[in-house]
Amino acid sequence: MRVLGIDPGLTRCGMGVVEGSVGRPLTLVDVNVLRTSSDLPVAERLVTIEKGVEAWIEEHRPDAVAVERVFARSDISTVIGTAQASGIAMVVAARRGLPVALHTPSEVKAAVTGNGRADKAQVGAMITRILRLERPPKPADAADALALAITHIWRGGAQSRIDAAVAAAGRRTR
């Protein structure tokens, strides 16, 4: 399975592609951060993010897209920008017919470190270890995108099978 992980943000949008399956070593395919200038109007910044996500999907052909679930922080302007970037990423993936999964930050931290309250350094260290890298990806948005992809490979596939089984059972009882 090949997963594109997206750590959404209006200024920095982390993008990471990981390939592999549960119980097998995972492989880093690509990682980067899409940046937009705060000097530009928000609409133009969203178009830049849309084009960037489209280019990554076109180039890397993921089987699924995992996006960080937006949660409320104290700075409402950050939440709004993150939500806008997240929405763009989900629309681009859905337009291509790709399954989109949302994972919370604590779920991702728990999946890759075993601790839902892990800090950025711990997540970076585990990403480095899991993907057998020489050093942690920088900036943290890049590591977070890879962590999302890893989480989806490890947990998302199982959840998809559970959802499909529940749906099939519901169809049989009608």
**Cis peptide leading into 105, omega within 30 of 0?**
no
Please report which confidence band the pLDDT of residue 170 belongs to, taking 50, 70 and 90 as the band edges.
Answer: confident
Residue 158 belongs to domain with CATH number: 3.30.420.10
Please report which confidence band the pLDDT of residue 124 belongs to, taking 50, 70 and 90 as the band edges.
Answer: very high
Q: Tell how far CA 130 is from the center of its chain.
A: 16
Q: What percent of the chain has pLDDT over 90?
A: 83
pTM of the predicted model as reported, rounded to 2 decimal places? 0.90
pLDDT tens track for 65-102? 999 998 776 677 789 999 999 999 999 999 999 999 99
The predicted structure's pLDDT at residue 53: 98
Cβ pair 143, 137 in contact under 8 A: yes
Select from 145, 153, 147 the least CA-distant residue to 126. 147
Is 141 tagged catalytic? yes
Is 75 tagged catalytic? no
Cβ pair 92, 54 in contact under 8 A: yes
**Euclidean distance between the first and final Cα of the chain, in Å?**
33
For residue 159, pLDDT over 80 is answered with no
Domain extent, residue 46, equals 2-172
For residue 173, pLDDT over 90 is answered with no
Catalytic-role residue among 44, 68, 107, 119:
68
The whole-number average pLDDT for the span 35-63 is 98
For residue 163, pLDDT over 90 is answered with no
The predicted structure's pLDDT at residue 131: 98
Catalytic-role residue among 63, 107, 119, 141:
141
- Give φ, ψ of 124 to 5 degrees: -60, -40
Rounded to the nearest 10 degrees, what angle do helices 76-95 and 42-60 cross at? Answer: 40
What value does the mean pLDDT of the chain take? Answer: 92
Please report which confidence band the pLDDT of residue 109 belongs to, taking 50, 70 and 90 as the band edges.
Answer: very high
Total domain count for the chain?
1
SS (H, E, C) 24-79: CCCEEEEEEEEECCCCCCHHHHHHHHHHHHHHHHHHHCCCEEEEECCCCCCCHHHH
CB within 8 Å of 7: residues ≥ 6 apart: 13, 14, 15, 16, 68, 141, 142, 144, 145, 148
